[in-house]
Every structure is written in C-alpha cells, then in structure tokens.
Amino acid sequence: MENFTVDPPQGLEKKVGFIGLGLMGRPMAKRLISTGFEVMVSSRSAPPVEELAAAGAIVATSLTELAQWSQAVITMLPTPATTEQVVLSSGGVLEAMHPGSLFIDMGTETPELSRRIHDRAEALGISALDAPVSGGDIGAIAGTLSVMCGGNPDAFERAQPIFTALATSVRLVGAPGSGQVVKAVNQIMVAGILGTIAEGLSLLECSDVDVEAALVALGAGRAGSELLAIKAHQMLNRSYDPGFKVELHLKDLAIVSDFARSSGVALPITTLITQLLVAIESSGGAQLDHCAIIEAIRGLRTLALPSSTTS
C-alpha cells in the first residue's frame, strides 16, 4: 500500500461508508483507509470489494448495515438512475442513516437530483452535499482531485477532513445542486480541450516535425494544459487504458445537454464533440479512455470513399 502524508481525520466523521467501487471509487476508498478513516464498503462487483477488504475495509452485508454503521456515507455511482435507486428509494440509504449523520454524493448527477437528495436528507435530519470531482483515476490515486461542492456551509465544514484526504482543491460553489452545475461545465470544457488536442496531434502526425519537440513547445505556450501533458502520449501511442471511459463521458454529456436545454443555453461545440465520442462508442470503444476521440479525427482523414465516376 502507498505511503501517504495526509494527517489523520480530526472531525467526528471517522466511520465512513463508501458505496461504489469503480474506477474512481476504488482508489478514493483506499485513500480514506490509508489516511486513518474506518471504512465500510459496498459495491455490485465482488473483485473491488475483495481488494478493499485486503486493504483494511469492512465489507457491508447490506446497504442498511452500511448506512446504520456510518457517521458519513459517500456514494460514487455510475449513473443518476443508480444513485436515485440506492439513495432515495424506499429502504434506501437515506432512510437507514442516523439523524445528524452526513451524506456526500461524489458522483456526477443532474442538479435536480442533487436538490431532491438534499431536501429528503434535510427532512430526515441528515446533512447532504453534492460534491462531484474532477481529476480522473490519477487524481483519485494520488489524492489530488478537485471537489466542486454544493450544499450548506456547516455541512461543508464537517466534511473537510474527508475532502482533505481525497483532494487538493475543495470549493463550496453554492447551494444544493451547485456542485453538479459546475461539474457539468467541467465536462464541457474537458470535452472541448480533448477534441482540439486530438485535432492538433492528428495534424502533427501528418507533418514533417519532431513531435516530441513540438509537444514541449506547445506545453510551454498558451496551448499548454494538464490534459495535453497527460493525454498527448496516450493519443500518439494509441494507448487507451481507461482513466475516464468514453461511455461515462457520454453519460455526463447527456446530463449536460439536458441541463443546458432546460436553461436555454446552446452548446454547438459540445454537441460536435459528443458526436465524435458517440462514433468511438458505436465502433466498440465505450470502455476506452475518452482520449480515444482522436481515432474519430484520424478516421476522417482516411475515409474509404468509392472512386468517382464520370459520364
């Protein structure tokens, strides 16, 4: 197990239930264990549960057991529908939690769902935060995520020991649901940046330049970005082990599209990038890293068109 230097938790919420051990949830739960929290876990898949048990987690026999044991519950689930079922359904997590406990949803949801969760939690005497994250699996492993949080300031302060273990940037951005609004904007910008990186690299590949030297030059200028630094070589080497899967980015962009439409905001660039990701997904790439979007750009320059005919 990695050695971490984060101080152990100082707040009351030292017993944390963690639901959802996917690509992001698994390393996040591990970090909580490594930084001094007692963690009880639950997931639909057995292998990550076994992995967390080996790292020191307690395995829940049911969501009710997890909710009743925990001082704070974190969900990191793949879709809003799953989150709604786990959290808000009859017999769901909120109903089983103790009044005065803390609920933190760190997945990507609709702002409307986050507000409904907050209202239901408040009626039960539970503090709730929507706290989606950015930073990918690399940030989850290193504890360098960015948290964009919506909710009550007092609940936000209570959650600080948990957030400190997971992230280097934590901001309260507004009322319940606000974290999800900011996460939607984040996913818009990430998609757009990835799309332009894909176009630029595709052009470099067709040019007589030193690509490595070009990347250094680009990184030192206005085009430099964390995404360029992390994703450029994955794109060039066609190495698409997922840090954030195409299917998950498309799920997030569907949330973005619905929210933007209800807000009366047009997203023409995001719509184009979404269609490129749809092309990757429909070609069998749903489980690839979203930087595989470059394959759609490459494909546009190698179209197998029929020969032209003249009459």
**Neighbouring-strand partners of residue 130:** 105, 150
Name the DSSP class of 305: P
Burial 291-307 (b: 16+ CB within 10 A, else e): bbbbbbbbeeeeeeeee
Our CA angle for 55, 59, 64, nearest 5°, is 145
Name the DSSP class of 286: T
Alpha-helix runs per DSSP H in 35-149: 46-54, 63-69, 80-88, 93-96, 111-123, 136-142
- Which of 14, 15, 30, 183 is catalytic? The answer is 183
CB contact at 8 A, 69 and 15: yes
CA distances from 94 to 72, 86, 158, 273 (A): 11, 9, 18, 37
- 183 is a catalytic site residue: yes
Q: How far apart are CA 280 and CA 282, in angstroms?
A: 6
What three-state secondary structure class fits 116? helix
Active site residues: 183
